[in-house]
Amino acid sequence: MGGETVACQVSTATGGARRRRFWRRIGRLWGHLALIPLSIVYMIPFFWMLSTALKTDRQVMVWPPVWIPNPIAWDNFPRAIAFFPFWRFLANTLTIAVLAMLGILISSSLVAYSLARIRWPGRDLLFGITVATMMLPYQVTIIPLFVQFTRFKWINTYLPLIVPAWFGGAFYIFLLRQFFMTIPQELSDAARIDGASEFRTFYQIVLPLARPALATVLLFEFLARWRDFQGPLIYLQDPRKYTISLGLSYFRLEHSTEWQLLMAASLTLTIPIIMLYFLTQRTFIQGIALTGLKG
């Protein structure tokens, strides 16, 4: 209250400032007026997914549709999970994800360190090539790789999905390099003068300071593996080896009209990611912003 009167007194002195503040407030009001209905529209598919996932098969067929299920069919979730089979596919997905995350983290951070903090001829060329590969459509490489993996007898194993990760990923190398560049060079110089090897400088000085960026890499790679469809589609044939995304697409083929089960299964795949988002919101948003800004 007190602040407002002071503000009023000041703004009578400068009518322009008062007017400006007034218009800004009006503008914000318009902002809300646009954002609130839009938010509702954006949430409708989520409400629809949740609502359907909790309906009985008879309620799904009701026209016009109702939002609140009655009775609430909680058992759609256990039924969907059992049909899936969700736990087996989850274990498969996590196996791939963890091994790929480990590979990506180790290899990409080493390479990014070389590109950001060691001066050697050819470094800039390698960085240029790295950026260029990010724009390469994967279709150009997938066929010869499939042929090669067939020769190795790697089809229907997780190896084609895991092994390449241990050689680094262009996007992660780029992201980590940008982050490593921001760490003061003096820290490395000091370590070098103290006689630390390059690897020790990397491991004991740079890596601990880069924890937020490393977390971003792990998070993004986990998400990529969780939602990856094409890789498992191409390389996995035995249904027992399916990942959750691939499993869900087959679930869809077998239960194409049981929408309550399909929505329950889709939610089962989505909810863990949404929870992960709320737990790691900062890492998430900063990571995405980081990829855009230095592009």
Footprint (CB under 8 A) of other proteins, residues 228-247:
229-230, 233-234, 244-246
Instruction: Tell me the closest approach of the beta carbon of residue 114 to other proteins, in angstroms.
Output: 3
Mind giving me the DSSP string for 108-157? Answer: HHHHHHHHHH---TTHHHHHHHHHHHHTS-THHHHHHHHHHHHHTT-TTS
Q: What end-to-end distance do the CA atoms of the chain give, in Å?
A: 47
**Is residue 27 near other proteins by the rule CB under 8 A?**
yes
Q: Which is nearer to other proteins, 10 or 136 (CB)?
A: 136
Cα–Cα distances (Å) from 290 to 72, 178, 195, in that order, read 43, 9, 34
Instruction: Tell me the closest approach of the beta carbon of residue 210 to other proteins, in angstroms.
Output: 14
Instruction: Tell me the closest approach of the beta carbon of residue 268 to other proteins, in angstroms.
Output: 9
Instruction: Tell me the closest approach of the beta carbon of residue 141 to other proteins, in angstroms.
Output: 4
**Is residue 222 near other proteins by the rule CB under 8 A?**
no
Dihedral sign for Cα atoms in the order 202, 203, 204, 210: positive
Instruction: Kindly report each contact of residues 73-80 with a partner whose C-beta sits within 8 Å and lies 24 or more positions away, as own/partner.
Output: 73/260, 76/260, 76/261, 76/263, 76/264, 77/53, 77/264, 77/267, 77/268, 79/261, 79/264, 80/251, 80/261, 80/262, 80/264, 80/265, 80/268
Q: Which is nearer to other proteins, 139 or 185 (CB)?
A: 139
Instruction: Tell me the closest approach of the beta carbon of residue 295 to other proteins, in angstroms.
Output: 4
Considering only 11, 95, 270, 280, the residue that binds other proteins (CB under 8 A) is 270
Q: Which of the ranges 7-15, 62-70, 79-87, 210-218 carries the binding residues for other proteins, by CB under 8 A?
A: 62-70
Q: Which of the ranges 1-9, 181-189, 208-216, 256-264 carries the binding residues for other proteins, by CB under 8 A?
A: 256-264
Contact string (CB under 8 A) for other proteins, positions 187-216, x = contact: -----------x---x--------------
**Is residue 20 near other proteins by the rule CB under 8 A?**
yes
**Is residue 248 near other proteins by the rule CB under 8 A?**
yes
Of 200, 130, 135, which Cα lies nearest the Cα of 167?
A: 130
* Tokens coding 176: 């980590």
Instruction: Tell me the closest approach of the beta carbon of residue 68 to other proteins, in angstroms.
Output: 13
**Is residue 254 near other proteins by the rule CB under 8 A?**
no
* Tokens coding 147: 């042929």
Instruction: Tell me the closest approach of the beta carbon of residue 267 to other proteins, in angstroms.
Output: 8
**Is residue 273 near other proteins by the rule CB under 8 A?**
yes
164 and 141 in contact (C-beta within 8 Å)?
Answer: no
Contacts to other proteins from residues 112-171, by CB under 8 A: 113-115, 118-123, 126, 129-130, 133, 135-148, 150, 164, 166-168
Q: What is the 3-state secondary structure (H, E, C) of 187-221?
A: HHHHHHHCCCCHHHHHHHHHHHHCHHHHHHHHHHH
